[in-house]
């Protein structure tokens, strides 16, 4: 499964959002330990703040989702589940449909990563519907990431035609808003799918496309790891 989406929150310029952005930058460098430390500090700081109103719940949800994502990347799955559950609860309390959609995406990614594919599909499809009702760049970006992860689920459950179509649509949406990491992740997901079905030449071509867009995003560590998979045959 792909991450829950880089830069999915609207940056407001205050200290909370600056720290959140810094954590996302650590994620893009694959420094998950550093990202986790920042997110845990945010959660702890929020616990001391009042009032715990709708805005507070929205921020708490954002911090918990990112914390869960980092924990999942570090394979601390029980802790990740706790973080995602806390974030989803906060998202519901916030009354913000965009935050709730982000939470459903996070829950879907977690369920897919832990093998509960039917539950993952339900969460991601519900998230996609909510994102599609948001007429803003955050809605289009969220929908693209939800579709990306849905495409992965379709591939894992043998619905190959639907998987390829969904990944293509995800790339189209994310390219339109210049979300290069999302475009790269969609190419990478498609490469993984092609490799799983034994399409040796085309999975390498797709992975080469992913490298191009990870480089465009400045994610040199991630691009380097994928180049190693290609073993110099294309790049």
CATH of the domain at 126: 1.25.40.10
pLDDT at 13: 40
DSSP H helical ranges for 29-113: 32-47, 54-73, 77-94, 97-113
Q: What angle do CA 180, 143, 71 make, to 5 degrees?
A: 75
- Quick one: which of 170, 95, 156, 87 has its CA closest to 120? 156
- Quick one: which of 139, 230, 181, 141 has its CA closest to 30? 181
pLDDT at 3: 66
Quick check: is 3 in a domain? no
Quick check: is 55 in a domain? yes
DSSP H helical ranges for 114-159: 117-132, 137-156
Quick check: is 49 in a domain? yes
Angstrom distances, CA of residue 90 to CA of 21, 123, 143: 20, 17, 21
Angstrom distances, CA of residue 88 to CA of 68, 101, 106, 231, 233: 11, 9, 9, 41, 44
Quick check: is 57 in a domain? yes
- Quick one: which of 142, 206, 144, 149 has its CA closest to 172? 144
Q: Are 46 and 59 within 8 A, CB to CB?
A: yes
pTM for the whole structure: 0.87
Average pLDDT, the chain: 91
pLDDT at 15: 87
Quick check: is 194 in a domain? no
The domain tally of the chain equals 1
Instruction: Tell me phi and psi for residue 144, to 5 degrees.
Output: -60, -45
Q: Percentage of residues in the chain with pLDDT exceeding 70?
A: 93
Please tell me the distance from the alpha carbon of residue 154 to that of residue 166, in angstroms, as a whole number.
9
* Those residues with Cβ within 8 angstroms of residue 6's Cβ, 6 or more apart along the chain or in another chain: 24, 27, 28, 181, 182
pLDDT at 9: 38
Band of residue 234 on the pLDDT scale cut at 50, 70, 90: very low
Q: Are 38 and 23 within 8 A, CB to CB?
A: yes
Please tell me the distance from the alpha carbon of residue 143 to that of residue 139, in angstroms, as a whole number.
6
119 pLDDT exceeds 90? yes
3-state secondary structure at position 27? helix
How far is C-alpha 135 from the chain's CA centre? 20
Quick check: is 5 in a domain? no
Quick check: is 171 in a domain? yes
Per the structure, the complete domain to which residue 31 belongs is given by 15-177
Quick check: is 216 in a domain? no
């Amino acid at each position: 499964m792909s991450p829950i989406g880089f830069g999915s929150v609207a940056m407001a310029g205050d200290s909370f959002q600056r720290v959140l952005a810094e954590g996302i930058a650590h994620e893009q460098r694959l420094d998950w330990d550093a990202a986790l430390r920042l997110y845990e500090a945010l959660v702890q700081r929020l616990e001391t703040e009042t009032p715990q109103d709708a805005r507070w719940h929205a921020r708490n949800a954002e911090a918990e989702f990112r914390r869960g994502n980092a924990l999942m990347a570090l394979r601390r799955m029980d802790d990740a589940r706790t973080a995602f559950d806390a974030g989803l609860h906060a998202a519901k309390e916030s009354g913000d449909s965009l935050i709730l959609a982000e939470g459903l995406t996070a829950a879907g990614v977690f369920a897919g990563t832990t093998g509960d594919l039917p539950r993952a599909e339900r969460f991601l499809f519900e998230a996609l519907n909510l994102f599609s009702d948001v007429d803003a760049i955050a809605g289009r970006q969220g929908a693209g990431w939800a579709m990306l992860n849905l495409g992965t689920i379709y591939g894992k459950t043998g619905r190959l035609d639907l998987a390829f179509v969904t990944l293509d649509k995800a790339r189209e949406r994310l390219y339109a808003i210049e979300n290069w990491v999302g475009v790269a992740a969609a190419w990478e997901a498609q490469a993984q799918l092609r490799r799983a079905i034994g399409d040796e030449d085309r999975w390498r071509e797709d992975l080469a496309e992913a490298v191009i867009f990870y480089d465009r995003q400045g994610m040199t560590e991630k691009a380097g790891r994928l180049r190693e998979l290609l073993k110099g045959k294309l790049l």
